[in-house]
A and B are shown apart, each in its own frame.
Chain A
Amino acid sequence: MFFDEFKSWQKELTHYSFEQVSQGDVERALGHERLDFMDFLALLSPAAKLYLEPMAQKAHRLTLQNFGKSILLFTPLYLANFCSNQCVYCSYNIKNKILRRKLSLAEVEVEGKAIAEKGLQHLLLLTGESRQASSPEYIADCTRILRPYFASLGIEVYPLETQEYRELYAAGIDTLTIYQEVYDEDIYASVHLAGPKRIHRYRLEAPERACEAGFSGVTIGALLGLGEWRKEAFFTGLHASYLQKTYPDVEIVVSAPRMRPHAGSYKPQYPITDAELVQILLAYRLFMPRGGITLSTRESAPMRDALLPLGITKLSAGSLTSVGGYAESTETGSAQFEVSDERSVEEVVAMLRSKGYQPVFCDWVNLRDRRGA
């Protein structure tokens, strides 16, 4: 169980100081072909700040070698924004008076078609965390409707039981995205005031349950801004590396979402600077040369362009974080956060091409609905 490893490292880190890391430690970590956990910690330390350029050079080289000059594009589709939780940092907070909506199955198909027409083949389905409003059965129904239009479908919803993940896998879901938000349990308790999400461990173990259920990919991450970023980034890497080792056939991806303006008054306690975000992404890449790294439209267009060569393998494009809105006819519900990069799919594609990257729309074969093949 990752929980045990998490606990033992938590204890370990009580005696650890990032301040004690020397430049020599950073240089040694940079020189290692395969980094151990101490190297990873060194790259997240204040001392590593002086080494961002050599870290970036190595990260770029490793990414080219392992993933080539190509970037996978995907887009999110919010199915519903009803929520049972009180997360202080999120617009969907049950206490927030926002426009709540849930797409009908007919609307799901209209939205799916509108997205597919842009050429996008990898779709991430999202809901607010309400089991009542957006039940596993509803998500499975949406999946079956969307399946024929896309090469790959993922979910980013409330954590589920292994059996429920199995059923969604059977319905056509390939990948899971679930952010722990914050690994630190005290902060976790202080920002998740009410609702089923309060159970830290149940969320922490959701990726393992999805891997057990046969998912082909899992994306994890900490919501940057909630906790001390060096530790949060370390636990994200620890988590990803545990999953890679335990489920070697599952593609493990990390993401580094920074908090964005949202409905509500919460301000991040540990705001992340651009240089810190870069340091985190570089440390992820050097620690996990074969891991995927996703960059969402939470970052601005110029920032996304600049981060691209540092290790990014997946990019969301043309994203809407409202419920519905891809098709002109669909009424929209309120958004989860403000999208920062508002460029269209065509604009993102043109940007990638101009930077010498091939936009990849399709990187999966769905074998489910072709059983007879």
Chain B
Amino acid sequence: MQQVNCELLNDPFEIGGQKLRSRLFTGTGKFSSHELVPQIIEASGTQVVTMALRRLDWRNPQENILNYIPKGITLLPNTSGARTAEEAIRIARLAKAAGCGNWIKIEVIQDQRYLLPDNPETLIAAEQLVKEGFVVLPYMSPDLGTARRLESVGAAAVMPLGAPIGSNRGLQTRELIRILIEEISLPIIVDAGIGRPSEAAEALEMGAAAVLVNTAIATADQPLEMAHAFRLAVEAGRSAYLAGLGARRDQAEASSPLTGFLREE
């Protein structure tokens, strides 16, 4: 019996010079208490945690979410609340000044009903923040033109939405995300909309580099068990993606079942 190729399954990806093993990013919002956050981090195996700077309660240490995030975890502060590129840029600078590191998830939202991102403003903010030395991960509507421009201004990844934030509707934008995966060489991290572990697995099977899941974990009846379920799903999805690619490569070299007859001449 052939052994499972563990090399294949251990494939870190890189963002901003940092190697990440876990392809599941999680959040800190919507949980019933800050105390849950470190437990979720452990159960999900995540290495990157996003947090809204607007929720950073630096006046009350007991309420400060930063005190609940274990060392070694990369913080991904987001610019939630920003309505324009300028506001996003300033929130990013505040995040850095508050000791949240130099990663930033740009969220520019001018629509409170659907919370859909504003791509043009996001691009402006991304260009400026890259110049200022941030590792920029923009939350965006999956549009190829915008993703190309984000790549050219130096974004570290792009984070297209699967469906509106908190909607738990899964990969409604599947076709557009598939195109981004094909065309953009940056890691594609599916953010927003993923409601079930199977949807996270699907994103990874398609070739997404990672997924960010918050609502589905935070609002589950049993958040820790759900965090674990997402961990397994993401690992399964990634393994399937790699296994698929590997298999195709192997076959192409081993034989040509349809055109092999040509060589017999």
Measured CB to CB, the residues of A under 8 A from B are: 64-70, 116, 119, 121, 151, 216, 244-245, 248-252, 290, 353, 356-358, 360-365, 367, 370, 373
Contact = CB atoms under 8 A, between A and B. Distances in A.
Interface string B46-77: 00000011111101100100000000000000
Nearest to B94: A373
B113 interface: yes
B260 to A, nearest CB: 53
Contacts, number: 93
Chain A interface, DSSP helix/strand/loop, else mixed = loop
A64 B219 contact: yes
Given A119-B59, A290-B113, 13 more contacts: A65-B166, A65-B215, A66-B166, A68-B215, A70-B30, A216-B83, A248-B111, A358-B31, A362-B55, A364-B54, A365-B53, A365-B81, A365-B94
B90 interface: yes
A360 B80 CA distance: 15
Interface residues of B, number: 36
B218 A68 contact: yes
Contacts of A121: 57, 59-60
Contacts of B215: 65, 68
Contacts of B87: 367
Chain B interface, DSSP helix/strand/loop, else mixed = loop
Contacts of B57: 121, 151, 361-362
Contacts of B60: 119, 121, 361-362
B113 A244 contact: yes
B31 A69 contact: yes
Contacts of A216: 81, 83
Contacts of A69: 30-32, 218-219
25 contacts: A65-B167, A65-B215, A68-B29, A68-B31, A68-B218, A121-B57, A121-B59, A151-B57, A151-B59, A244-B112, A248-B110, A248-B112, A248-B113, A353-B33, A356-B32, A358-B31, A358-B33, A361-B63, A362-B54, A363-B54, A363-B55, A367-B94, A370-B90, A373-B93, A373-B94
Contacts of A290: 112-115
A251 B112 contact: yes
Contacts of A119: 59-60, 63
B122 to A, nearest CB: 14
B108 to A, nearest CB: 10
Interface in B26-40: 29-34
Contacts of A65: 166-168, 215, 219
Contacts of B218: 68-69
A249 B91 contact: no
B183 to A, nearest CB: 30
| Centre residue among B29, B109, B113, B215 by max chain A CB count within 10 A | B113
